Structure 1
Amino acid sequence: MPFEGGCICGAVRYVCTSQPVWSCNCHCRACQAGSGAPYVSALSVPLNSVSVSGSRIEFTRTSESGHTVTTALCALCGTRVHAQSAGNTALLNLFAATLDNAGAFTPISNVYVSEKAPWVALDPAIPAFEKMPG
C-alpha cells in the first residue's frame, strides 16, 4: 500500500491508497469485445481512495442490469484504465493489467461464465458465477 498503475504509454497514472474490496475475471461479451481478450481481470476499490491523472476519453454503455457503465481509456494510447457502474458510484474498477505490479492481483471470482469463450479453462478453486453475483 499504496499501489499504482497506468496505461502503456505512461500518460495516465493512478495511485490507490485502499485495499481492493473485490476482484474478478469478467467473461462477459462486452469485456471481450472491448479488450479483444477472452476476459478482463479487474479489482474494485473505493472511489475516494484513487487519484487518477492524465487525459482520458470515456465510453459509456448500458449493462445487462440497466445501469450505465463508463470506461475510461488513455486519450493517447487507448489503454482501458478504469470503469465505473452507475449502479455503485462509490467504487471504481481498475483493470488489473494496468497495475505496475500485476502479479499482486488475485481474482476471487469468475463472473459471466455463461458468456465465457469456449477455449477458456476455469480454475476450479475460484468461484464461478453464471452472471454477476447479487
Structure 2
Amino acid sequence: MEENTPPLTGGCMCGSVRYEARGEPLVVGHCHCHSCRRHTGAPVVTLVAFTADRIRFTGRTRSIYNSSPGVKRAFCDQCGTPLTWEGFSRATNAEVIEVHISTLDDPARVFPTEHWLHDERIPWFDTADGLPRYRGKGAAGEEPYRHGPVEDGLPD
C-alpha cells in the first residue's frame, strides 16, 4: 500500500464505531496468543498494525479493556465487536494500534506476512501457508523457528 492510496476503513458490526487508517501498515500478522484468542473467541486472529497517529476513530467512542499492563483492547460497547490491540512497540518506539482485519471494510487489501506467538497456538489448529512462525512477535531481529505449518498437527 502506498502513502497516496485510499485509507483503510472499518468499524464494528453495528456501525457505531468507525476508523480510518492512513499510510503503509507496519505489519500484518496472525496472532496465536491466548489473550487474543480469548478476546475474540477465535482460534487465531489477524491484525494489521499502524502507529497510533495513523488511525482516527469516529462515531461512538470505543470502549477499552486494560487486558494486561500496558495493553489495551478496544471493542464496541453496543454490539461487542472486538476492534483493536493497543500498546507500546519497542520495535517502532511508538504507540501502536493493531486492528482486527475482520473489522476492515475490505480485508482483502492487506496480506499477512507472519505468525506471532505460534507456540501458544491451539495444538489442532494451524494454517496452510509458508509464512514464518515466531515464538514472539517477530520484532528486534527475532528469527522464525519454522516456516509453514506443523505437519503432524501437534506442537513441536
TM-score, normalised relative to structure 2:
0.77
Distance across 2 between alignment mates of 1:131 and 1:3? 26
Q: Which has the larger radius of gyration?
A: 2
- Name the residue aligned to 1:15: 20
- One-letter identity of the residue aligned with 1:70: K
SS in 1 for 2:13: coil
Q: How does 1:1-134 map to 2 (within 5 A)?
A: 1-53=6-58, 54-62=60-68, 67-87=69-89, 89-134=94-139
Distance across 2 between alignment mates of 1:25 and 1:73? 19
Paired residues in the alignment total 130
Distance across 2 between alignment mates of 1:12 and 1:74? 6
User: 2:88, 2:96 within 8 Å by CA — same for their partners in 1?
Assistant: no
Report the CA distance between 1:110 and its aligned residue.
Answer: 0.4
Identity of aligned residues (%): 26
Report the CA distance between 1:89 and its aligned residue.
Answer: 4.1
- One-letter identity of the residue aligned with 2:82: R
SS in 2 for 1:13: strand
Larger relative contact order (Cα-Cα within 8 Å, sequence gap ≥ 6):
1
Distance 1:21 1:86, change over 3 A: closer
| Structure 2 unaligned blocks of 5 or more | 1-5, 140-156
User: 2:88, 2:95 within 8 Å by CA — same for their partners in 1?
Assistant: no
| Structure 1 unaligned blocks of 5 or more | none
Report the CA distance between 1:131 and its aligned residue.
Answer: 2.2
- One-letter identity of the residue aligned with 2:74: A
Alpha-carbon displacement from aligned partner over 1:88-131 (angstroms, at most 9, x marks no partner): 54321111110000122211100111111122223341111122
User: RMSD of the TM alignment (CA)?
Assistant: 1.5
